[in-house]
Copies of this chain bind each other. A is one copy, B any other.
Amino acid sequence: MTTDTNAPTGRRTDTRRRMVVGAAKVIAAGGVDAMSLRELAIQAGVPLGSTYHHFPGGKAQLVDEAVRLVGAQVTQLIEDARTQGTDTVLQVFADRWRRVLEASEYAAGCPVAAAAVATDPRHQEVAREVFADWHRALTRALRDSGVPAKRAGRLARTVVAATEGAVALARASRTSDPLDEVVAELSELVESARAR
């Protein structure tokens, strides 16, 4: 039963997830305000009313879940790169956003950043938690690659900030050049932090 992927319950579960994924995409492209439950329900092929069955907390809940989902995915990405001893965690992190940018022709960016600049403090809090997760994971990765513990935290924060900023610049200029340039400079910075 539970292995039957065509079962009604299976489809329903899939629908719920598709709504969260769809929400993440719309938020990444236009911010929290641009995400309409109506349009999202239409795109997912479910009636508007059903949205409140799956998400009793309404729009706020859906937004939070979407941001947390992307947040967890990226945290995992960083963790995987770290445990595999990849010494280019920078690249892994930046490439994730490069793919989002290119796949959307620079229309979409980072949904966590969108939540960070939302008016609702609730969404900002979620963004804070996700950024903190990324920061922790990146700090560990930098320490693993030889950056002194005292410096790693500050450097990891800069990696998150610079990359997020580069994504915004890339959207404005419709080029991934900002991301390339920032990664190059961050690499220099990490290298010099390792040396001393």
Contacts and interface: CB of A to CB of B under 8 A. Distances in A.
Interface of A: 29-31, 33-34, 107, 109, 113-119, 124-125, 127-128, 131-132, 153-155, 157-158, 160-166, 168-169, 171-174, 177-178, 181-182, 184-186, 188-189, 192
Given A33-B34, A34-B119, A124-B172, A161 B189 contact: no
Given A188-B192, A189-B188, A192-B188, A116 B171 contact: yes
A30 B109 CA distance: 17
The interface centre, meaning the residue of A30, A157, A181 with most chain B CB atoms within 10 A of its CB, is A157
A118 to B, nearest CB: 8
Copies in the complex: 2
A161 to B, nearest CB: 3
Given A161-B162, A185-B189, A189-B189, 14 more contacts: A31-B33, A33-B33, A113-B168, A115-B172, A116-B171, A117-B117, A117-B171, A132-B173, A157-B169, A157-B178, A158-B182, A161-B163, A161-B165, A161-B182
A168 B161 contact: yes
11 contacts: A31-B31, A31-B33, A33-B33, A124-B172, A128-B172, A157-B178, A158-B185, A161-B163, A162-B162, A163-B165, A192-B192
